[in-house]
Amino acid sequence: MESIVNFSLLLRAYLVCVCPLLEYNSTTWSPHLKQDIDTIERVQPRFTKRLPGFGNYSYCDRLRTLQLPSLELRCLDIDLVWCYKIIFGHVSFSPSDFFEFRLASVTRGHPYKILKCHCSCTSRSTFFAERVVNVWNSLPCDTVDFSSLSAFKRTIERTDFSRFLCFPEFL
C-alpha cells in the first residue's frame, strides 16, 4: 500500500512541479537542434526510471504504462495551440505580424494553410518555419476541428505527429 501511495504521489509531484518548469514559455525557448531536445528530454526518463517497479522497463514502455507523452510532443502541442490562438484572435497579436496565409484556393488539406516564409531572424524562422508551419499545414483536413479551442485541442491529442519529432520512438 505504501509503495502505491508513494508512486502516485511522486508521479503527481512530477506532473505538478517539474513538467510546468520544462514546458514554461516553450514557444519562445524550445530548442530545434536534436542534441538540445535530447538534453531536455532526458529529465523525464531519469524520473520515470526511478519510480518503484519501473527501473527495468524501457523508456517507451514507461511512457505507455504511465500514459505520459514525451516532453517533445507536449511542446509541439503547446506550439500548435499558440498558433491556433494567434490565427483565430484569442491573443492580442495580429496574425499578419506572424503569418502569411495562402491566398489560392486550397484543394488539399484544411483552409487555414500558412505560407512558409524565409526569415533572417533565427528565433522567428525556427519557431514559425521549422516547428509550427510544417506541422500546421499537414494537419489532416478530415479530422481537424477548428470550431473552438477545446475542439482543436482534442484534435491534436488524437493526431499522430511522430514524423515531425526528433525522437518518434518516445511516443
- Could you read off the pLDDT of 55-83 as tens digits, one per residue? 899 888 888 898 888 888 888 888 899 88
Predicted pLDDT of residue 150:
93
Rounded average pLDDT over 7-26: 84
Predicted pLDDT of residue 1:
47
- DSSP result, the chain: -HHHHHHHHHHHHIIIIIHHHHHTTHHHH---SHHHHHHHHTHHHHHHHHSTT-TTS-HHHHHHHHT---HHHHHHHHHHHHHHHHHTTSSSS-HHHH--B--SPPSSS-S--B-----S-HHHHIIIIIIIIHHHHTS-TTT---SSHHHHHHHHHHS--GGG-S-GGG-
Q: Which of 45-49, 61-65, 163-167 shows the lowest mean pLDDT across its residues?
A: 163-167
Predicted pLDDT of residue 32:
67
Q: Which of 8-22, 34-48, 98-112 shows the lowest mean pLDDT across its residues?
A: 98-112
The pTM (predicted TM-score) of the whole model is 0.77
Q: What is the pLDDT of residues 87-145, one digit of tens each?
A: 888 988 888 777 777 766 556 778 888 877 665 555 444 555 567 888 888 888 877 88
